[in-house]
Amino acid sequence: MKESELRERTRVLLDEVHPDDEGVSRVDFRSAQFDHGLALVHFPEGLGGFGLSPKLQAVVNEEIQSHAKTFYENLVVNPIGIGMGAPVVLTYGSEEQKRTLIKRIYTGEDIWCQMFSEPSAGSDVAGLSTRAVRDGDDWVLNGQKVWTTLAHVSKWGMLLARTNPDVPKHDGLSYFLLDMESPGVDVRPLYQITAEAEFNEVFLNDVRIPHEQMLGAEGQGWRVAITTLMNERSALGGGSSRKGGGPVSVLTRILAESGAQRSPAEQAILEDKATQLYIRAELLRLTTQRAKATQRSGNPGPEGSVGKLAQAEIYKDVWETCVAALGDDGLLYEPGYELRRPTGDFRGTGESSAEKHILQAKYQLLRSQANSIEGGTSEIMRNILGERVLGLPGEPRVDKEIAWKDVPRG
């Protein structure tokens, strides 16, 4: 399908249902978008797309944004569901699961979370301890997950658990879809440096999951988890779609507005740094575009780690430079430092105001520290790229052949 046809189809959708129209809710609009095949264009027909290259989704999004005042951003509604849940269900789910789950993910009716990390298993997630034991048609789960983003508002969790401790760690895992409203699921907030609790610890006490909610076969959970993680890294490393857009645009604005407060020498140093960051951000944008252009429909590969690694490091530097440019004022955060759950749409403090970009920079300086940890740390991204993309020798893995239960652990 040509780009022009996709634009035409998007205009037909907008003629039928417009997000700015009174009485049209976000769910109404996104539901119609899904039915028109314009939600996830790389998904098959009938499941939100047309089996096209994922890069063409940007054409639809641009077209909607240029004709609508309503803020429209593809992932913000349900980042984990859309970025990871939908592709995993598409790859491993039954026909029934695809039909019932994917659309509700896209509309945001069902929020999803990812339940991999545990207190002693983050980078080494395959070493996790949460146990699932078969009991008739159900599995009974006990254990603890941590850093579970959005668990407090989620309907479904993508959960990795150990179903066989007698084999090496990767072979004894299975992957479940957990209904977060099930008895025995206890979600507790964890507050971050930003004062928000985006994520949680989740305790599982004799939680029952029906066998049909296992994705992939018993013992094949690691394969399903890898699909999830590749999609996560690809979603996290997307960069900005517009040249000079995203965080770099905030830096440019702050530098221009605050220049009078600095000596010419200080300004020249900051401008030099900003130029370097602009170039790095542009390289990231073009690399991401190139990766999307070569990717057809289907799951991304380990190359997705390039964007994830580069974006995490660039964004941290950009926000740090923004706050440096704000001078002493950059050190002030917000009165009261009130602990809260995030509101969802604008991640950061403050209402819409002329100073929103300044509030955003201060908030993001804190939030961006997580960019090089969430979805796998930068060190782990470098390991993946070294081993799986460049073909360098692997790290020594002493527990690879040993039954999980025999691996010494603290």
Spell out the residues 6+ positions from residue 29 whose beta carbon is closer than 8 angstroms to its own. Answer: 17, 18, 19
Q: In the annotation, is 257 catalytic?
A: no
DSSP helix/strand/coil, 131? strand
Residue 325 contacts ligand FAD per CB under 6 A: no
First to last CA, the chain: 56
- Report the site for ligand FAD in 45-104 (rule: CB under 6 A): none
**d(C-alpha 85, C-alpha 79), whole Å:** 9
Phi, psi (deg, nearest 5) at residue 230: -65, -40
Regarding 374 and contact with ligand FAD (CB under 6 A), the answer is yes
H/E stretch holding 247 reads: helix 247-258
Minimum separation from the CB atom of position 36 to ligand FAD (A): 31
Amino acid at 155: K
Q: Binding-site residue total for ligand FAD (CB under 6 A)? A: 20
- Picking from 101, 1, 112, the residue whose alpha carbon sits closest to that of residue 49 is 1
Which of the stretches 85-93, 181-189, 267-275, 372-380 binds ligand FAD when contact is defined by CB under 6 A? Answer: 372-380
In this structure, the strands spanning 214-215 and 156-162 are unpaired
Only segment of 58-66, 334-342, 374-382, 399-407 that touches ligand FAD (CB under 6 A): 374-382
* Closest approach of ligand FAD to the CB of residue 17, in Å: 32
Position 116 contacts ligand FAD (CB under 6 A): yes
Structure tokens that stand for 114 in this block: 């990812």
Binding mask 197-236 for ligand FAD (x = CB under 6 A): --x-------------------------------------
Question: In the stretch 137-156, what mask flags binding to ligand FAD with x, by CB under 6 A?
Answer: ----------xxx-------
CB–CB of 238/76 below 8 Å? no
Q: Which is nearer to ligand FAD, 27 or 153 (CB)?
A: 153
Applying CB under 6 A, the residues found at the interface with ligand FAD are: 113-117, 122-123, 147-149, 199, 370, 373-374, 376-377, 379-380, 383, 395
Active centre residues (catalytic): 232
